[in-house]
Amino acid sequence: MILNYHSIMKNNSKISKQQYAYKVIKSRILDGRYPPGYKIVIDQLARELRTSAIPVREAIRNLEADGLIHFKPYSGAIVTPFNEKEYLETLSVLAVLEGFATAISAQHFPADRINELTEINERMKEALNDFDFLMFGNCNREFHSLTYQYCNNHFLTENIKSTWNRLDRVRKMGAATKPARAKKSIEEHEVIIDMLRGARSFEEIEAYVRTHKLNTVQAFLEEKNDRELRNYT
């Protein structure tokens, strides 16, 4: 169901037609209704949103800047295809950055906030049981954001945030959450919590958090290899 632009305007007089089109298209890409490679037909979308083609074109240009839409010769605007190489490289970079930042943060991490990490991890368990992978992903990011919150290197944390944003975009283009890896990730979070609680050394925390992220890379590659073997046989 698509909300009418005029009904939205009643609740938010500042939203423009271009912003409305942007929100609608982006939500459809991120929730999978517009899958990777899906062709965006501007005139059709403009009719559906009850607006002219101009705001839709402007929205598409902004989504192109976000990396969610790609212009393909002779086809026009399409939802950006999944880039496996970019996904794996981005996750590998995040492993290094986040491992280092968490180790710095651990030196200043307040003991009274440890329970918050446990609560977030419990919400991740509930999300996994409900097969709510969007909630699982949001909680996962919340968990790690808290673990490195007390890193006093602003440049490092800003780079982590931008890398997370890139990872979210690439992942939503095709790297679905794998339940088996998700379960293991929750278990690894419990180890991270224990390491922060026990004030483990900088080197131990940095290495474990980095490996935690790289385990997702390994799980992705193993799943890919299994899939290729099944197709071959």
pLDDT band at 66 (very low <50, low <70, confident <90, very high): confident
pLDDT at 200 over 80: yes
The segment with the largest mean pLDDT, out of 75-79, 100-104, 218-222, is 100-104
Nearest-5° Cα angle at 122, 143 to 186: 65
Write down the domain spans for the chain: 5-79, 84-232
Q: How far apart are the first and last CA of the chain?
A: 42
State both tokens at 122: 């419990």
Q: CB-based burial of residue 7 (10 Å sphere; 0-12 exposed, 13-18 middle, 19+ buried)?
A: exposed
Phi and psi at 70, nearest 5°, equal -130, 140
Cross-strand partners of 69: 79
Q: What is the DSSP string of 60-71?
A: HHHHHHHTSEEE
Rounded CA separation 115/121 (Å):
10
Task: State both tokens at 6.
Answer: 């005029």
Question: What CATH number is given for 84-232 in this structure?
Answer: 1.20.120.530
> CB-hemisphere CA count at 13 Å for 77?
22
Give pTM, 2 decimals.
0.69
The rounded distance, in Å, linking the Cα atoms of 36 and 127 is 25
pLDDT of residue 8: 47
Measured between alpha carbons, how far is 184 from 202 in angstroms, rounded to an integer? 23
Q: 8-22, 83-97, 180-194 — which is least confidently predicted?
A: 8-22
95 with 214: CB under 8 angstroms?
A: yes
Residues 179-198: b if buried by 16+ CB within 10 A, e if exposed: eebbeebbebbeebbebbee
Q: What is the average pLDDT across 134-149?
A: 93
Looking at CATH, the fold of the domain delimited by 5-79 is given as Arc Repressor Mutant, subunit A (1.10.10)
